[in-house]
Structure 1
Amino acid sequence: MDSTADAVSQKMSLAARAYEILRHRLIMLDIAPGDPINEAALSAELDVGRTPIREALKRLESDHLVVSYPRRGTFASNVDLKDLSTISEMREVLEPIAARKAARNITPERRRAFEATIADLRELKETDEPRALMERDLEVHRLIYSSVDNPHLMETLVRLDDLATRIWCLVIPRIPDLIGHIREHIDLLEAILEGKESAVEAHAAEHVRDFDTTLRAALR
């Protein structure tokens, strides 16, 4: 690899790292909706140049996680609760497809990852911090998405799950049984391991509907 190609690769790596860090902060509301994004401060904190930060922000804007205004700057996008219906509508269609494909694509390595995740979910405690529970919820969904072997489907699912997670984090204090919702994944993951495609589709669709119902109840 020549020096020019090496420099381009390094810049892409830095931008990807910045993107992943900022995306996680945005979906977990560590950067609150409406907060300004300070490129200079982020550049110093993450020890990367302004260019990788800007490239990361462009990707985040396409993900609907930030919004840019001419002469005003870039801000964390607001959480629009009206989006819940459209997000749930798409997830109810796509999550069962992802679960079915994951059931078809189980490898020995993936089986070990699913079994470890199931064991972790069984160990969850009522005393666990809501933040830790939400991190676990994200990990479960990412595990399933990474098993679909379809980058376009995975990208769409991750984007929708990110938007759903922002709404979820906004109402966590009003969720009566957060741990119960996350433990619902156990039946889904076990069905995936058993290759029960009809069952996994049903579990995945039911989980999305339960998510939507729980959020609507919390928003009343």
Structure 2
Amino acid sequence: MTAQGTLITGEHGGNLSLAEHAYQLLKDRLIMLDIRPGEPINDGQLAAELGVGRTPVREALKRLETDHLVVSYPRRGTFATIVDITELAAISEIRELLEPLAARRAAENAGAALRAEIRAKADEISNVSQTQLDQTKLMRLDLSVHRLIYRAAGNAHLEDVLIRYDNLATRIWCLVLDRVPSVAGHVSEHADLLRAIADGDAEKAGKLALEHVTGFEKTIRTAL
């Protein structure tokens, strides 16, 4: 088994601790509902699956509880949190305020290298209708777009908050995925937003970000 202190290489390069590695993998499973809402989580079983000790898994689960993706009960254990559709309005209210802010800040603050990365992502998004990505891969692409915008905003606190609420919103989306039209159109909306950010057009970026979030909520409510 891998030693406790060993570092591994992350998917985008750089070293990750075992606890960070476990956190990233488990977070993805929880967001994409591979670990179903309400499902019990066995840290020993997860440690064996991930090839790490129990300690990194337990550290990861503590972080995931802060993210509201798992919940622990004394003498009962740890469970994936329930996806509560009634929270959609509260989550959307926060995102409608903060997503446009992040988009505007990204348009204002991103450096040349980030703007090039944003343009490349816009080109990738523009071709999404021609690709044969399944719904789950499209959702992961959607997540990657949001993470890029949050990073480009240059405010670590804003990034942290938005990642948390985008994760919760994505879980709701995944819950109704079989009841909504293809998410390709939802994802492709990001191309214009990304280009506005790359062009430094803060006003347009904020407007498009708001339209995207409100459109997301309407789509979910229609599916329900």
2:201 is equivalent to residue 192 of structure 1: no
The code of the aligned residue for 1:32 comes to R
Q: 2:178 aligned to 173, 184, 187, which one?
A: 173
- Number of paired residues? 212
Q: 2:129 aligned to 125, 128, 132, which one?
A: 125
- Equivalences for residues 1-220 of structure 1 within 5 A: 13-125=17-129, 127-219=132-224
Kindly provide the CA deviation profile for residues 37-75 of structure 1, in whole angstroms up to 9, marking residues without a partner as x: 111111111121111111110110011000111111101
Q: Taking structure 1 as the reference length, what is the TM-score of the superposition? A: 0.92
Gaps of 5+ in 2: 8-15
Q: Percent identity?
A: 54
The code of the aligned residue for 1:192 comes to I
The code of the aligned residue for 1:102 comes to A
Deviation at 1:167, TM superposition (A): 0.3
Q: d(CA) in 2 for partners of 1:70 and 1:134?
A: 34
Describe the SS at the equivalent of 2:152. coil
Describe the SS at the equivalent of 2:72. strand
Describe the SS at the equivalent of 2:35. coil
The code of the aligned residue for 2:134 comes to E
Could you say what the CA RMSD is over the residues aligned between the two structures, in angstroms?
1.5
Gaps of 5+ in 1: 1-6
Kindly provide the CA deviation profile for residues 162-219 of structure 1, in whole angstroms up to 9, marking residues without a partner as x: 0000000111111124111111111111111111111111111111100000000001
Kindly provide the CA deviation profile for residues 8-57 of structure 1, in whole angstroms up to 9, marking residues without a partner as x: 786x8111111111001100111010111111111111121111111110
Deviation at 1:128, TM superposition (A): 2.5
Q: List structure 1 segments (4+ residues) > 2 angstroms apart after TM superposition.
A: 7-10, 125-128
Describe the SS at the equivalent of 2:41. coil
Kindly provide the CA deviation profile for residues 130-149 of structure 1, in whole angstroms up to 9, marking residues without a partner as x: 01111110110011011111
Q: d(CA) in 2 for partners of 1:171 and 1:208?
A: 17
1:100–1:8 Cα change, 3 Å: same
